[in-house]
Structure 1
Amino acid sequence: MFFTYLRRELRRRRKAALVVASGLALGIALVIVVNSVSSGMGKAQDKVLESLYGLGTDMTVTKAAEQPTGEEGERPRFQFDAGEEGSGEQSSDRVLVQGFQTLAASTVGEVGEQNGVSDAVGGLSLQVMKVNGEFTQGQFQPGEGGMPTAPGGGGGTGGEGRVEGGGASFDVNSYSVYGTDVAQQELGPLTTSKITSGRTFESGETDAKVAVADSAYAQENDLKVGSDVTIKDVKYEVVGIATADSGDSAADVYVPLKQAQTLSDSADKITTIYVQASDSQQIETVKSEIQKNISGTTVTTSADLADTVSGSLSTAADLATSVGTWLSVAVLLAAFLVAGLLTSSAVSRRVREFGTLKALGWKSGRVTRQVVGEAMVNGLVGGALGIAVGLAGAYVVTAVSPTLQAELGGGEATGPGGGGGRMMAAAGGPGASRTLEVALTAPVSVTTIALAVGLAVAGGLIAGAFGGWRASRLRPADALRRVE
């Protein structure tokens, strides 16, 4: 009897039922889209942070920032030999430690011994500046009188002469080099790239003259497996080409850690320690433990680095979190209110019907259950429509994949890298920054679908509560006196 009457009433009042279901569907769909986009923002931000940290890295340890002293803060100087010939090609490399701040390699072991630390690996971030070009000596041209004067004489009249031509033409090329611990390659920036040609380092190549080149850098410089990369007059054989998962690599060239230390005259030094916590829920505790027990260090977690992310990614994330969330809540509340009012209004128009049913022996509880049942069906239909529309909206966002920019750094040194260049520039000195482009997606999780179903049921219950309360207060005598 219940379902028969329910089916008949929904058919008879299909337009009103559709209005209630559509209102609920709009609110539920908006919740799904906002929730999915927010999840996509989180994944995009994680992708940006992984490009700096490396997969599986929970935090990094660097040397606490200090005021540069002595030659550390000076600009790089290049020296060229003066030759007797009229011209000659000159080339000079300068290898700099990014950020000019290093830790003792033994600090890796100290960090690894702290409570809550599962693994710790050190690395050395370098910036190579290469100047290549030539000087051309000018040619002295005698004056009109044919009497030579000293080179550099002005181009006057009479016996004066002048120097014509000459000068210098130099190219400056800057690229980043990362020294990786080849014995422990599970952590660190190289884990964000996939070897697409050749191989990665072997555990025995701790001091070998081999290198892995980033695919973008290799294409720009016509490098392939078997080619040579010359750094400070030392040739390194390219054994692999790596393609960054995020589209922007952490470094242009990767070499064994010992070779990086030799190139930069930084024996037994590192710039960054990559740390993996035993429990991801205890990251802040581990951070406090390291800072307390190892002085002179700065510990940066992914949450800390996330605060430095700016650009369109940060703006869109703020909109999705604040404006989008509040908008979806407002629309959902409005949909619930409209559904409740429409259901209550429908009960008012059915006063004579319910009065007759009560006169025939229906209890108030049965009438209430009938109204709630109809409202629940409307809610479930609205939930189904809302899920369909929400999934379609999320699919459109994923299909379009709008590109967002994430700018990292630009302020004080807070991150895991050094200062300057592409290699983790977010953590460089003041003003250092790094911009990444990420595609936005809107993944829909099972939790989001479950939330939508819950909202649909809640909407039906709220609407049913309004209508059921009105129906339960009807008295047969009063109802029969009413005429529709």
Structure 2
Amino acid sequence: MFFTYLRRELRRRRKAALVVASGLALGIALVIVVNSASAGMQQAQGKVLESLYGLGTDMTVTKAAPPPSEGGRERPRFNFDAQDDDETQSSDVVMPQGFETLASSTVGKVADQSGVAGAVGGLSLSVLKVDGEFKPGEFAPRENTSGGGGGGGGGPQGEVRGGGANFDVNSYTVYGTDTAHQDLGPLTSSKITDGRAFETTETDAKVAVVDSAYAKEKKYKVGGDVTIKGTKFEIVGIATADSGDASANLYIPLKQAQTLSDSKDKVTTVYVKADDSQQIAAVKSAVQKNIPGTTVTTSADLADRVSGSLSTASDLATSVGKWLSIAVLIAAFVVAGLLTMSAVTRRVQEFGTLKALGWKSGRVTRQVVGEAMVNGLVGGALGIAVGVAGAYVLTAVSPSLTAEVGSAAAGPGGGGGGMIRAGGPAGQAADKAIEIALTAPISAATIALAVGLAVTGGLIAGAFGGWRASRLRPADALRRVE
């Protein structure tokens, strides 16, 4: 009897039921889209941190920058050999990014701290290459118009004309990786798409892995070679960064990087993995206390410094989006309840007659709540369909967002000095901009939330209607019968 009456009443009041279900569907769909977009932004921020830190890295340790009062840093110098028979000149300057380095022994000290699961050192370098040619000028004798033969000095009279120089400046980044421990560091966020990765025995080999974007720009191939400061390195692999932007253009063994930059037994960054992600703050405090003169940056610290459209969109989704979803849901629940209560009021004769025929107030209330629950579930199904479609469209469009991380917090070499990107001289406060395609993944938790909201909406609407129905008396129906 309950389900028969329920089916008949919903069919008879299709328009009213559709209005209630549509209102609930709108709120539920908005919640699904906002939650999916927020999850996508969290994934995007994770990719940003991985591209700077490397997969699995919880924090980095760098050398604290010296106070400005201790004097400026040494500027790079380019030396050219002046030879009459060689007009072509080339000079490479290889220097650690940020100019601040730590002793390699720091890696062991960090690894010995309580709560540290692993620590690996890396040396991030910037290479400034200047090459071109000098064109010597030509001596042009000056014509003698005085008729006197010879000038006062007795030497040749004239001037040098022409000549000049044409030089090209190229800058790129090189990361020295510990090939014996490749489970931490920026290279872990890249995937070898051609050739192979470093072998653990190649600790001092002249081999290199090239970022795919840089390899495409310079037309590098596996099996070819690249020259850094007069040293040839065989290209053994091409790596593609998961986030689309690699931490360095070239990766070489750590010892080779130390040799090229005259940084024997030095590193710029120590990459740290904690035993427990919940104890990262405690590990950070221990490292700062026991290893003075260092700067410890966690993934949470770095996330706070991410700016750009990714940060703006994330803030909007977190604040405006969620509050808007809550407001729409509250409005949808209230409207559904009021519409249900209004429908009960219009059915006062019907319910009064049913009570006169022997229906108890509880049975009438259950009938109203059952109808409201069906409306809520229908609204939930519509909301899930619309929300999933919206998230799918957002993923298909994949709007591009940018994330900028200031040089003070940037990845390889990040802590003390400016991060050096191509085109920027050493020491400048350049930002690292990473472009991320936004997706909107839908999780089972999001679907469960939508179902819960649908049930809640039905219960709220049923509570309004049931309360109104429970107050009806058979006499109300009899007085309105014409």
TM-score range, shorter chain: over 0.9
Q: CA deviation at 1:72?
A: 6.9
Q: CA deviation at 1:69?
A: 8.3
Q: What corresponds to 1:119 in structure 2?
A: 118
Instruction: Note closer, same or farther for the CA distance 1:380–1:341 as it changes in structure 2 (3 Å cut).
Output: same
**Aligned equivalents of 1:168 and 1:338: distance in 2?**
78
**Aligned equivalents of 1:372 and 1:80: distance in 2?**
89
Q: What corresponds to 1:131 in structure 2?
A: 130
**Aligned equivalents of 1:365 and 1:180: distance in 2?**
74
Per-residue CA distance 1:393-441 (angstroms, 9 max, x = gap):
000000011111111115x457553433339x9xx95622111111011
Q: What corresponds to 2:11 in structure 1?
A: 11
SS in 1 for 2:472: coil
Q: What corresponds to 1:59 in structure 2?
A: 59
Q: What corresponds to 1:91 in structure 2?
A: 90
Q: What is the one-letter code of the residue matched to 1:265?
A: D
% same residue: 75
Alignment of 1:245 onto 2:242: yes
Q: What corresponds to 1:162 in structure 2?
A: 159
Q: What corresponds to 1:29 in structure 2?
A: 29
Q: What is the one-letter code of the residue matched to 1:89?
A: T
Instruction: Note closer, same or farther for the CA distance 1:21–1:445 as it changes in structure 2 (3 Å cut).
Output: same
SS in 2 for 1:237: strand
Q: What is the one-letter code of the residue matched to 2:475?
A: A
Instruction: Note closer, same or farther for the CA distance 1:395–1:82 as it changes in structure 2 (3 Å cut).
Output: same
**Aligned equivalents of 2:151 and 2:320: distance in 1?**
78
Per-residue CA distance 1:145-199 (angstroms, 9 max, x = gap):
287889xx9xxxxx96332210111111111010000000011111111112211
**Aligned equivalents of 1:209 and 1:347: distance in 2?**
83
Q: What is the one-letter code of the residue matched to 1:26?
A: L
Q: What corresponds to 1:187 in structure 2?
A: 184
Q: CA deviation at 1:65?
A: 1.9
**Aligned equivalents of 2:135 and 2:427: distance in 1?**
37
Q: CA deviation at 1:68?
A: 6.5
Alignment of 1:454 onto 2:452: yes
**Aligned equivalents of 1:130 and 1:70: distance in 2?**
29
SS in 1 for 2:93: strand
Q: What corresponds to 1:104 in structure 2?
A: 103
Residue 186 of structure 2 contacts residue 412 of structure 2 at CA under 8 Å; is this kept in 1? Answer: no
Q: CA deviation at 1:277?
A: 1.3
Q: What corresponds to 1:73 in structure 2?
A: 73
Instruction: Note closer, same or farther for the CA distance 1:75–1:351 as it changes in structure 2 (3 Å cut).
Output: same
Instruction: Note closer, same or farther for the CA distance 1:148–1:438 as it changes in structure 2 (3 Å cut).
Output: farther
Residue 402 of structure 2 contacts residue 434 of structure 2 at CA under 8 Å; is this kept in 1? Answer: yes
Instruction: Note closer, same or farther for the CA distance 1:414–1:291 as it changes in structure 2 (3 Å cut).
Output: farther
Q: What is the one-letter code of the residue matched to 1:443?
A: P
Q: CA deviation at 1:283?
A: 1.7
Q: CA deviation at 1:70?
A: 8.0
Alignment of 1:476 onto 2:474: yes
**Aligned equivalents of 1:71 and 1:438: distance in 2?**
39
Q: What is the one-letter code of the residue matched to 2:189?
A: T
Q: Which runs of 5+ in 1 are unaligned?
A: 154-158
Residue 142 of structure 1 contacts residue 149 of structure 1 at CA under 8 Å; is this kept in 2? Answer: no
What TM-score results when the alignment is normalised by the length of structure 2?
A: 0.93
Residue 215 of structure 2 contacts residue 221 of structure 2 at CA under 8 Å; is this kept in 1? Answer: yes
**Aligned equivalents of 1:70 and 1:371: distance in 2?**
79
Instruction: Note closer, same or farther for the CA distance 1:199–1:70 as it changes in structure 2 (3 Å cut).
Output: farther
Q: What is the one-letter code of the residue matched to 2:413?
A: G
SS in 2 for 1:99: coil
Q: What is the one-letter code of the residue matched to 1:457?
A: V
Residue 247 of structure 2 contacts residue 412 of structure 2 at CA under 8 Å; is this kept in 1? Answer: no
Q: CA deviation at 1:138?
A: 0.5
Q: What corresponds to 1:156 in structure 2?
A: none
What TM-score results when the alignment is normalised by the length of structure 1?
A: 0.93
SS in 2 for 1:379: helix
Instruction: Note closer, same or farther for the CA distance 1:325–1:430 as it changes in structure 2 (3 Å cut).
Output: farther
Residue 395 of structure 2 contacts residue 439 of structure 2 at CA under 8 Å; is this kept in 1? Answer: yes
5 Å matches for 1:346-361? 346-361=343-358
**Aligned equivalents of 2:175 and 2:92: distance in 1?**
16
Alignment of 1:225 onto 2:242: no
Residue 104 of structure 1 contacts residue 268 of structure 1 at CA under 8 Å; is this kept in 2? Answer: yes
Q: What is the one-letter code of the residue matched to 1:231?
A: I
**Aligned equivalents of 1:173 and 1:438: distance in 2?**
27
**Aligned equivalents of 1:67 and 1:267: distance in 2?**
25
Alignment of 1:386 onto 2:383: yes
Instruction: Note closer, same or farther for the CA distance 1:68–1:206 as it changes in structure 2 (3 Å cut).
Output: farther
Per-residue CA distance 1:371-410 (angstroms, 9 max, x = gap):
1000000000000000000000000000011111111115
Residue 20 of structure 1 contacts residue 342 of structure 1 at CA under 8 Å; is this kept in 2? Answer: yes
Residue 21 of structure 1 contacts residue 381 of structure 1 at CA under 8 Å; is this kept in 2? Answer: yes
Q: What is the one-letter code of the residue matched to 1:161?
A: G
Range moving further from structure 2, 114-123 or 62-71: 62-71
Counting matched residue pairs gives: 472
